[in-house]
Structures are given as C-alpha cells and as structure tokens.
Structure 1
Amino acid sequence: MDLSTVNAALAAKSYPDLAPICDDLFLQVASQGAATDGWPYAVHLLAHLYLNDLNSARFLWKTVPQEVKDAHPELAAVWKIGQCLWNRDYAGVYTSAQGFEWGPEIADFVAAFIESYRKRIFELLTSAYSTISVADVSHFMGMSEEDATNYAVQNGWSLDAAAKMLTVTKQKPQTNQKLDASKLQRLTECVFHLEH
C-alpha cells in the first residue's frame, strides 16, 4: 500500500486535503482486497474531524476492526476528541487533544486541528454573543482566563475588567463588489425595453 500522497499532504501541512486523499486511497486499497494493517487510521480519522465532518468520522470509526482500535492508543485518543466534538464538550476537546503524547507524524496535525477548532469556536462566539463572561470564553476556548481575554482583545473585543465581561465586536463582512459599466449598461437597456 502506497501512502506517499498521505505522507506528502502531512509533510506539506495540507490538512484540509487529507480527508479526501485518505478516503480515495482507502477505497482503492479496499477494492483491491489488500490488507489495511498499516493504514493510518488515526490520521484518517483526524482528517475528518479537522473538516468538522463528524458523520464521516463516526462511520470510519465503526469500520475500524476492534483489534486495530485496541492496538493503537493514538487512534483511540483521536476518537476521544471526536466523541467530545459529537457531545459538544468544548473543554473536553482541548483536554483530550492536549492530554495525550502524540507521535511525531501526527503531533503537528493535532496542533493545527486545535488551532482551527479554536478559531471556529471564536467565530461562533462572535456571531452568537454581544457580551460574554471571561469564564465562559475561557471554557469554550480551552484557555486560561488570562489567555482567553488576551485572545479576545487581540481580535477586537473589549474587556470590562470590573465585571469580568467581554464585549464582542462583530466583524464587518467584506464586500468586493465592483461596478462593471457594461453590466450596468445592459441592465439599463433591459429596464428601458421593459418600460417601453
């Protein structure tokens, strides 16, 4: 089984590409009837979690032979992260990811997953709240209260230190609308013809 494309994506830190690469390669291997003893299940599972594709992650977990699950603690540790995601145990995601001694081939991937997850949670907090307590931000972001406050303030939020509350600053959506004179001319002609 040739895992060079998987290893190349890991080396290039092309983490969003890993799930489709692993899926395609796994299907090829399975269709040829080849043994999947050396399959990088932990990487494959984490790739789906990275994309927040929990249904595919659960399906993959169910297809992993029990003896593989038992023999690879790293795979079980990735699945623990997946369970926390599924159960919306925000603090548990960080605890599970940081509470395991990852191998060198996956450690950077786990760190990238945590950073991506943290950004996604921060975006959700930004869209859902106008004010939120420092303790709640700390919980959702998997950081100490001081680190969570610094992260929020660096991203434009403001702190009421006395109340230990953060005021959310909504990001203004960027619009890159360019006025194309030819399109405007065609629209004007169309409206003119409709009116006359």
Structure 2
Amino acid sequence: MDFSMLTATMASKSFEKIADICDNIMLQVAAEGIAYQDEWPYAIHLLGHIYVDDINSARFLWKSIPSSIKENQPEVSAAWKIGQRLWTRDYGGVHEAIRGFEWSQELQVLVAAFSELYTKKIFQLLQSAYSTISIQDAAFFLGMNGDDATNYVLQQGWAVDLASHMLTVKKQVIMSEQKLDPSKLQRLTEYVFHLEHR
C-alpha cells in the first residue's frame, strides 16, 4: 500500500485532507482485493474524520475496525474516545479524552491541531450562546483550568468580574454586506438633484 500521499499530507499539516485521502486509499485497496486491516492507520483515519467534524463517518469507520485491532492498538481506541465525546456532545469530555492518552509522536501534532481547532469552535459557540457565563463553566467547555480560561477569553475582549466569578461575553460584530440596487441609487440621485434645484 502506498501511503506516501498521506505521509506528505501529515508532514505539511494539511489535516483537513486526511479523511478524504484515507477514504480514497481504502477504496482503492478494497477494489484491488488487498487485505489491509493489520497495516491500516486507523487512528489517523479516525482523527482525520474527527478533525473535519465528520463524526458519522468516524462512527462507521470505528464499527468496521476489527475487534482485534481495537484491542491491540490502544491509540485507535483513544482516537475513538474523542469521537464518542463529540457524538454525545460531552464538550469537556473531548478535552479529557485528548489529554487522557499518551499520543505517539506521529499523532501528537494532529491531536494538538484538532484540540486548538476544537477550542476555537467551542469559544465561538459560547460567544454566540451567552452574554455572561461563569468562569467555572467557561473553563469546563474550553477544557482549561479557571485561570487559563479567564486569560483566554480576556485576550478575545471579554470582561471578568472577579467578585462574582462571572465573564461578560464580547459579542462579535457581524458585518453585513449591503447590495446596492441600481434603481434605488437612480431614485436617490434624482431626489438629491430635485432638492438642490428647487
């Protein structure tokens, strides 16, 4: 099996491409009738789907993995533990699953990149869902201790009330593009012309 494209993708940190590359290699190998289970990079494949937030595909992949591999390759099970937490929307549990395993050198960068991406996603979710939130709750969702969570959100412009242990969310300013209607512009021009030449 030729994993050179996957290796190059991992090296270039183009993690959003991993799931598609693995899916394509798997289909190609299956079409050629080659037995691949023992050599397959299941942990990378699972994490590739998790990275792009394709939990359904990760779940189906997990179900297709032979039980012998699940039992003998703890990193595969550790990768799926992250998927399980995402599946059940256990936001704090995702961070626990990430930190709860000693990842191989090959996967450390991918897991760290996913963790950063996930933290940003959860932060945006908190930003859109709350106007105020306790430091404790923010820390839970962001997978950090209270001090780290407070520092993280302060850098994003939030405010903290240390007396009440509450954070005030800074809402994101949404810039909306206005489309210019030529007929309205023409009417406005005529109106201004009319006012100026009365």
TM-score by length of 1: 0.89
User: 3-state SS of the aligned residue for 2:144?
Assistant: coil
- What does residue 33 of structure 2 align with? 33
Query: Which residue of the partner structure matches residue 193 of structure 1?
Result: none
Partner in structure 1 of residue 51 of structure 2: 50
Q: Secondary structure in 1 aligned to 2:160?
A: strand
SS of match in other structure, 1:159: strand
Residue in structure 2 matched with residue 184 of structure 1 by the alignment: 182
| Cα separation, 2, equivalents of 1:67 and 1:31 | 23
Kindly provide the amino acid, as one letter, of the partner of residue 129 in structure 1: Y
1:110 corresponds in structure 2 to 111
Q: How does 1:111-150 map to 2 (within 5 A)?
A: 111-150=112-151
Comparing 168-177 with 124-133, which one deviates more in the overlay?
A: 168-177
2:70 is paired with a residue of what secondary structure?
Answer: helix
Task: Pick the structure with greater CA Rg.
Answer: 2
Match of 1:149, SS?
A: helix
Q: Partners in 2 of 1:68 and 1:8 — Cα distance?
A: 25
Structure 2: runs of 5+ lacking an equivalent: 188-198
Listed as ranges, the gaps of 5+ residues in structure 1 are 190-196
Tell me the percent identity: 54
Distance in 1 between residues matched to 2:111 and 2:53, nearest whole Å = 14
TM-aligned CA deviation for residue 105 of structure 1: 0.8
| In 1, Cα distance between equivalents of 2:149 and 2:18 | 30
CA shift digits 1:79-128 (9 cap, x unpaired): 11111111122221111111111111111000011111111000000000
For 2:73, the aligned partner's letter is H
In structure 1, the residue matched to 2:21 is 21
One-letter code of the match for 1:12? S
Could you tell me how far apart the structure 1 residues matched to 2:40 and 2:183 are?
59
* Secondary structure of the corresponding residue to residue 167 of structure 2: strand
User: What is the distance in 1 between the residues matched to 2:27 and 2:118?
Assistant: 28
Show the 5 A alignment for 1:54-73.
Answer: 54-73=55-74
Mapped to 2, the partners of 1:110 and 1:122 lie a distance apart of 18
Q: State the Cα distance separating 1:174 from its structure 2 match.
A: 3.5
Which residue type is aligned with residue 182 of structure 2?
L
Measured in 2, the distance between the counterparts of 1:89 and 1:100 equals 17
CA-CA distance at 1:148 after TM superposition: 0.2
Q: Please say which of residues 106-115 and 167-176 is displaced more in the overlay.
A: 167-176
Cα offset, 1:71, TM superposition:
1.5
Distance 1:59 1:142, change over 3 A: same
State the match for 2:7 in structure 1.
7
Which SS does the other structure have where 2:163 is aligned?
A: coil
- Give, in angstroms, the shift of residue 178 of structure 1: 7.7
- Please report how far the alpha carbon of residue 177 of structure 1 lies from its aligned counterpart in structure 2 after TM superposition: 5.7
Q: How many pairs were matched up? A: 186
Deviation at 1:185, TM superposition (A): 7.0
Q: Structure 2 length normalisation: TM-score?
A: 0.88
Q: CA separation in 2, counterparts of 1:60 and 1:187?
A: 56
